[in-house]
Amino acid sequence: MGQILKLHNMLVRKEISAKELTQKYLSAIAVENSALNAYVKVTEEDALLAADITDRKLSGGEDIDALAGIPMSLKDNICTKGIETTCCSKILEGYRPIYNATAWNRLKDKGAVLLGKANMDEFAMGCSCETSCFGGAKNPYDTSFVAGGSSGGSAAGVAANLAVYSLGSDTGGSVRQPSSFCGCVGLKPTYGAVSRYGLVAYASSLDTVGIVAGSAEDVSFVFDVISGFDPMDSTSKADFAACTFDLLNKDIKGRKIGVPRELMDRSDEEVRDAVLKAVKSFESMGCEVELFSMPALVTALPAYYVIACAEASSNLSRYDGIRYGKKAEQYESIHQMICKTRGQSFGDEVKKRIMLGTFVLSEGYYDKYYAKAQDLRRELIAKFAKVFARYDALITPTSPKTAFKNAQVQEDRVGSFNADLCTVPANLAGLPAVSIPCGKSNKGHPIGLQIIGDKFRESLILNLARKYEQENGIMHIESMGVRL
């Protein structure tokens, strides 16, 4: 049983009150967050108020939703009305949104208890959480290693039992890769399944709101609530109603699974071995597994960086210091004020990606980089359509490597792009993908495997993830945070 259902049953049976549960989490955060840096803001007062609402409902004999009173966190790029939302960037220091993101609103309506805002790479640009202006989140399995990125705080917090689940964002693997590094389950939904309204934009054609939790069951509970049409997001799908929870325990016998050779070949041996062991487990459950070749998966990586940076250069042009956020003090013209504000407040990684994006969109380079990246994206989508005519799902490593050592990424930023090799194809094609733990490295660091499905097939990939968990168990840390 996942944590959500377990805690829900405890609340309903009055074995613990929502306020006591919340206080336990707040106390654990007070003790353990200094070492992990998973939270950049703790919303104690709001959390206790939300818990109180659930307690009053329970004492009044009302039924409560499964998510009511359950403590959780939100990545700091998900807008929370009246609560500072900085994207871990100096340029949004002091910014308090005047509206809630749709995904958060839907959870709030069900009685979710927000413990605080989770650490992340600045504007979600990074793979180690270290570009955060608050410093990076550390890996609960070994704090000399990173939690991954960009949703590093979400994954570190869930892995250390400092939140039951967390919402993150996934533009190129930012939910799945830190989930893999921290031994969590991380879902990147189909593009259009969850509203992006209130998610601060990085690369709009790739951004998705994702979920980090301790099990496929917990992810399923949350996904079924936050997904569905939202008129405030023109890319949200009108006729999509998720019911993944009802299908979690469906028999997977006879499911056809493809394993792309290119991603296995480019992964470290211990990662590959763990994934192959997991593949055997799926075979033992009656799945038909086949190794196949799909070179387009590898060429997706540079295309992703070109498209993501191009979109970022446009999206981040809104930060000018006039309407919100930080503003330069000394200037002689409005143009200079904007340049100074942006130059002084954006971090180096963000500035580099904005400049690269501007460059690939500029005259003389548009065709060489941007237009060709779009063509590669088109090719990739066409290849996926053929692959999903043959297979129900694909299994790959989530990341070719386990967690990096702290500060290792700064030594080779471009080399670190390869960490996204296995995750970016799903973003470019808008497909759902889930990362689940499938073993540990020699150093004891978690290894993740990724299950990719066809569009809007979240129920199938979570079904496969759940069956794997039932067969192989759930990875968790007993010694940290709150484990009831």
Partner 1 sequence: MKYGVACDKISLYKKDIITWGEPMITEKDIKRIAVLSKLEVCEKDVPLYIKEIEDMLLFAEGVESSLKESKGEIGALDYNMLRSDEVMPSALSGDILSNAKNTEDNFFLLRKQA
147-206 positions binding partner 1, by CB under 8 A:
191-192, 205-206
Nearest distance in Å: CB 361, partner 1? 9
User: Integer distance in angstroms from the first to the last C-alpha of the chain?
Assistant: 12
Kind plus residue range of the DSSP H or E element containing 136: none
Q: Is 320 in the site for partner 1 (CB under 8 A)?
A: yes
Q: Which stretch binds partner 1 (CB under 8 A): 112-120, 161-169, 302-310, 468-476?
A: 302-310
357-376 positions binding partner 1, by CB under 8 A:
358-360, 362, 367-369, 371-376
Cα 245 to Cα 8, 74, 464, distances in angstroms: 15, 22, 12
Nearer Cβ to partner 1 (245/319): 319
174 is catalytic: yes
Nearest distance in Å: CB 242, partner 1? 17
217-276 positions binding partner 1, by CB under 8 A:
229, 231, 234-238, 259, 261-262, 264-266, 272, 276
Q: Is the omega angle on the peptide bond into residue 128 within 30 degrees of 0, that is, cis? A: no
Q: Is 464 in the site for partner 1 (CB under 8 A)?
A: no
List all residues 6 or more positions away from 75 whose beta carbon is below 8 Å from its beta carbon: 117, 118, 120, 151, 153, 154, 166, 167, 168, 169
Cα 103 to Cα 47, 74, 80, 123, distances in angstroms: 17, 10, 10, 18
Nearest distance in Å: CB 354, partner 1? 5
Q: What tokens appear for 459 in the block?
A: 């129920």
Kind plus residue range of the DSSP H or E element containing 393: strand 393-397
Nearest distance in Å: CB 102, partner 1? 14
Check: CB of residue 479 under 8 Å from CB of residue 285: no
Near partner 1 by CB under 8 A: residue from 200, 219, 354, 451:
354
Q: Is 324 in the site for partner 1 (CB under 8 A)?
A: yes
Nearer Cβ to partner 1 (6/340): 340
Cα 404 to Cα 9, 158, 181, 200, 339, distances in angstroms: 38, 19, 9, 27, 34
**What DSSP state is assigned to residue 405?**
B
Near partner 1 by CB under 8 A: residue from 23, 417, 472, 476:
417
Near partner 1 by CB under 8 A: residue from 352, 383, 440, 476:
352
75 is catalytic: yes
Q: Is 327 in the site for partner 1 (CB under 8 A)?
A: yes
Nearest distance in Å: CB 207, partner 1? 10
Nearest distance in Å: CB 295, partner 1? 5
Q: Which stretch binds partner 1 (CB under 8 A): 135-143, 159-167, 349-357, 467-475?
A: 349-357
List all residues 6 or more positions away from 246 whose beta carbon is below 8 Å from its beta carbon: none
Nearer Cβ to partner 1 (26/310): 310
Nearer Cβ to partner 1 (32/420): 420
Q: What tokens appear for 7 in the block?
A: 């805690």
Nearest distance in Å: CB 205, partner 1? 4
Going residue by residue from 72 to 111, which x/- string records binding to partner 1, judged by CB under 8 A? ----------------------xxx-xx------------
Q: Which stretch binds partner 1 (CB under 8 A): 5-13, 60-68, 117-125, 338-346?
A: 338-346
Q: CA torsion angle for 356, 362, 368, 369 (degrees, to 10)? A: 30
Nearer Cβ to partner 1 (122/218): 122
Cα 294 to Cα 71, 127, 262, 384, 388, distances in angstroms: 41, 24, 7, 9, 12
150 is catalytic: yes
Nearer Cβ to partner 1 (115/428): 428
**Nearest Cα residue to 339 out of 360, 353, 322:** 322
Nearer Cβ to partner 1 (101/338): 338
**Nearest Cα residue to 173 out of 356, 475, 421, 364:** 421
The set of catalytic residues is: 75, 150, 174
